[in-house]
Structure 1
């Protein structure tokens, strides 16, 4: 039974990190050792029994740190249970229906045996980094569209699958 789980993430403004921390917290409550870490700071995925990788969506692309992480660690990821998540839509669309993975994520799903991918709503707050983020906020499109009940439920399914 896998017990040591990595939740690696790529984020620019921190909202994807908050999702990753929530996932790790739920997994710990299920009796697993789970750690959320920025994808760029993980030296090896081989030290973990299972992996969850998440990335924020920016202009239809998965965060560069998440993309680089799966590319660099692809051999280790192919040998362990793997789940993916994206965060990004700045509206209620993420809980209204399943959103298909963006191209970057779809490629990973084809190359590796990904158990599941889900897209959660995103969050963009005042003070966000980046020109595009500031333009979105000026246009009144910011806000927090994450559904933490949905995030916790998804993490619980992963935990049950790993401990089941």
Structure 2
């Protein structure tokens, strides 16, 4: 594939954006042209030949910007290869086992014939926005649980699938 790949994401405190940038960096290193943008700022997916969509998980749901992006661009996404990732567990569980997509993401995957989905650990650190985030931090359950080796390995798989097309 010689076209452009969009890596887009919904994030509140930047953790999912960091994962999206890591994915975009790997795709670029593999020779692909990549744009990485917040999901709320993407007006159209028409210029892109493939799309990677990431969303932070909040109370069992994907970030609202990721959900809205998929809904808004459903018809165009169905015409190109798409990959999903989620981020969120604030423990090592995402590195220890495969975590299936939440129900809403699973439904979108079926509708769009998504190539793959993976859940990565999240990050929640001091200064995070939101009342619930504050409660989690006060309980001592914050931290950075993103596994960048796993993120890069998954992105290499995406790149291989795209370069074989």
Query: Which residue is equivalent to 1:94?
Result: 94
Query: Which residue is equivalent to 1:73?
Result: 73
| Shift >6 Å, 4+ stretches | none
Q: TM-score, normalised by structure 1?
A: 0.98
Structure 2 stretches lacking a partner, 5+ long: none
Equivalent residues in 2 for 1:110-125 (5 A)? 110-125=110-125
Q: Is the 8 A contact 1:90 1:145 kept in 2?
A: yes
Query: Which residue is equivalent to 1:162?
Result: 162
Q: Is the 8 A contact 1:2 1:50 kept in 2?
A: no
Question: Any idea what SS the aligned residue of 2:115 has?
Answer: strand
Q: Does 1:149 align with 2:149?
A: yes
Question: Any idea what SS the aligned residue of 2:75 has?
Answer: helix
Q: CA RMSD in A?
A: 0.7
Q: Is the 8 A contact 1:51 1:80 kept in 2?
A: yes
Equivalent residues in 2 for 1:13-162 (5 A)? 13-162=13-162
Q: TM-score, normalised by structure 2?
A: 0.98
- Rounded to whole Å, the distance in 1 between the matches of 2:10 and 2:104 is 13
